[in-house]
Amino acid sequence: MEPGEWLRVDGQSGRPLFDQLRNQIIEAIRAGTLSPGTRLPTVRDLAGRLGLAVNTVARAYRELEAAGIVETRGRFGTFVARADPSDSAMAEAARTYLDVAHGLGLGKAEAVRYLEAAYED
Provide CATH 1.10.10.10 ranges for the chain: 17-80
Q: At residue 95, does pLDDT exceed 90?
A: no
Which residues does 99 contact at the CB level (< 8 Å), separation at least 6? Answer: none
Q: Which CATH class is domain 17-80?
A: mainly alpha
Looking at the chain, the whole-number percentage of residues with pLDDT higher than 90 is 55
Which residues are registered as beta bridge partners of 72? 78
Which residues are registered as beta bridge partners of 71? 79
How far out from the chain centre does Cα 54 lie? 20
Does the predicted TM-score (pTM) go above 0.85?
no
Q: Name the packing angle between helices 54-66 and 17-31 (round to 10°).
A: 50
